[in-house]
Amino acid sequence: MKKDYRLDKSFGPTGVIAGIILLIVGIILTPFYVSGLFLILIGSFVGLSSTSTIVDYENKRMKFSNNLFGIISVGKWVAIENDMKVGIIKSKKTWRSYSRGNRTLDITNNDFRILLYDSENRQVMPIKKVDTMDIAKKEMKEIAENLGLSSNNSLVN
């Protein structure tokens, strides 16, 4: 059984809005100008690209993927070894954009990430993004049981 856990948009919230606007404008302009196809291409790349983690529980492997245009999955499979661990960290990502008047817009996302660690407690890849610590602990235990790994509570930061 494979599960796909969505993580983030590649260009942040403002990039998604700008990409969707370019996509819509390109769709409107394409019947009149061939250059509208270029706007559709750029808008769909910026607005729809995202990151995710695909977990294959049957074959004990994971892939951190960049989803180009929202559909083309690019990444490398990593085999899960028995000495790997699963842990939780608190994530605080801030997306910053500037207007033409040089004003900043900061959008902060606070969440908890379930991560895969190797045998030496180094981060390998994020697995899943959740909103609260209680849900993160529950999901961490479930993922660890399905993969046959230990969930190390000392890795909770």
Residue 155's pLDDT is what? 52
150 or 63: which leads in pLDDT:
63
- Give the separation between CA 57 and CA 21, rounded to whole angstroms: 38
What does 39-91 look like in DSSP terms, one character per residue? Answer: HHHHHHHHHH-EEEEEEETTTTEEEEEEEETTTEEEEEEEEPPTT-EEEEEEE
Model pTM?
Answer: 0.81
Q: Encode pLDDT of 72-110 as tens digits.
A: 999 999 998 888 889 999 989 888 888 888 888 888 889
| Average confidence score pLDDT of the chain | 89
Residue 120's pLDDT is what? 86
Residues 6+ apart with CB under 8 A from 70: 44, 48, 49, 50
Residue 152's pLDDT is what? 66
Q: What average pLDDT does the segment 51-67 reach?
A: 92
Residue 51 · residue 65 · CB < 8 Å: yes
Q: Is the pLDDT of residue 153 over 80?
A: no
